[in-house]
Amino acid sequence: MLSVIIPSFNEEQLIMKTAEVISGLLKGQDIGHELLFVNDGSSDKTWEEIQKAREKNESVRGISFSRNFGKEAAIFAGLGECKGDCAVVIDCDLQHPPEKILEMYALWQEGYEIVEGVKNSRGKESGAHKFAAKAFYNLISNAAGIDMENASDFKLLDRKAINALLNMTEKDAFFRALSSWVGFKSTQVTYDVREREIGQTKWSTKALIRYAVTNITSFTSLPLQIVTFLGVVMFIFSLVMGIDALVNYFCGRAVEGFTTVIILQCFTGSVLMISLGIIGYYISKIYAGIQDRPRYIISERTK
């Protein structure tokens, strides 16, 4: 059986349509399936819509979070709940072309354990957004040793890969990168990102920045190494400045250096503060790890 995991946050207008489109497609090909909607604490009628979809279609199931825990949490909840031999994760807004599920399924039947959806084009995005996305993916790609530039959450995973992912206890699990990190026999399917059917993107700039910082720090400690690097640069700089100051002192022209002192002071101060901030961020992650809170809380399930 194929499980289709659909994280949904304030998607009331799309639940019915998405369920019909995907279920129709899979029924047409005689592929046994379940559609697992994960309501990520929506404030609109998404949960009611999921229940309605369930009444209409036996293969629909739903779970509902007690509040908004974010898309990553929704994906992991879906992986934890699904019963299929393989699972596809797909957006609720039909931006990931559902027909591609068939292609992914065929590849799974050929023996591939992970089929990644890779974007041909990133769809309509502003220049600044493209730039930020590129910088983010470059950093993560280097850290993880996987090319992530056109990666997405649209993926098919075999049961083996699902279990491997579920065994990871890290709190800020970054699905897109972890699902490549686990290895297994993988292949790719390319697709074009479509326009969102109805509604608008659920990501504000603030949410995207938070997402980037969380995932960078959960995948790489490179920022901490930058701190060390900055420290070394500062040390060399201060050696040079120190020698210069001493020479000046012995030549009897000491007072002038005031400007330098101020600049150095500010520079050191700022580097120290940035460094402390970065270190603090990792410590807060360790703290969150020790607290051992669940990634999400399920409040309801469809009957």
156: alpha, beta or left? (left if phi > 0; alpha if psi -120 to 50)? beta
Secondary structure of residue 8 in the 3-state scheme = strand
- The one among 3, 4, 5, 8 contacting ligand UDP by CB under 6 A: 8
Secondary structure of residue 134 in the 3-state scheme = helix
**Rounded Cα distance, 191 and 129, in Å:** 20
Binding status of residue 186 toward Mg ion by CB under 5 A: no
Binding status of residue 95 toward Mg ion by CB under 5 A: yes
Where does this chain touch ligand UDP (CB under 6 A) — which range of 68-76, 140-148, 163-171, 284-292?
Answer: 68-76
- The one among 3, 4, 5, 11 contacting ligand UDP by CB under 6 A: 11
Binding status of residue 201 toward ligand UDP by CB under 6 A: yes
C-alpha dist (Å) from residue 267 to 28, 239, 281: 65, 15, 21
Binding status of residue 7 toward ligand UDP by CB under 6 A: yes
**Rounded Cα distance, 102 and 111, in Å:** 14
- The one among 74, 162, 189, 227 contacting ligand UDP by CB under 6 A: 74
Q: CB 122 → ligand UDP: shortest distance, Å? A: 10
Name which of 128 and 255 has its Cβ closer to ligand UDP: 128
Helix (H) or strand (E) holding 245: helix 222-250
Name which of 119 and 285 has its Cβ closer to ligand UDP: 119
* Look-up of token digits 């379940």: 34
Name which of 65 and 105 has its Cβ closer to ligand UDP: 65
Estimate the crossing angle of helix 222-250 against helix 127-144, to 10 degrees. 90
**Residue 40's binding partner out of Mg ion, ligand UDP, none, with CB under 5 to 8 Å set by partner kind:** ligand UDP
Interface mask (CB under 5 A) for Mg ion, residues 34-73, using x and -? ----------------------------------------
C-alpha dist (Å) from residue 233 to 202, 237, 250, 271: 41, 6, 26, 11
Binding status of residue 218 toward ligand UDP by CB under 6 A: no
Binding status of residue 18 toward Mg ion by CB under 5 A: no
Binding status of residue 18 toward ligand UDP by CB under 6 A: no
Q: Which amino acid would we find at residue 72?
A: E
Q: Which of 161, 191, 202, 205 is nearest to 179 (CA)?
A: 161
Estimate the crossing angle of helix 127-144 against helix 205-219, to 10 degrees. 10
Q: State the residues that interact with ligand UDP by CB under 6 A.
A: 7-9, 11, 40, 68, 70-71, 74, 91-93, 95, 196, 201-203
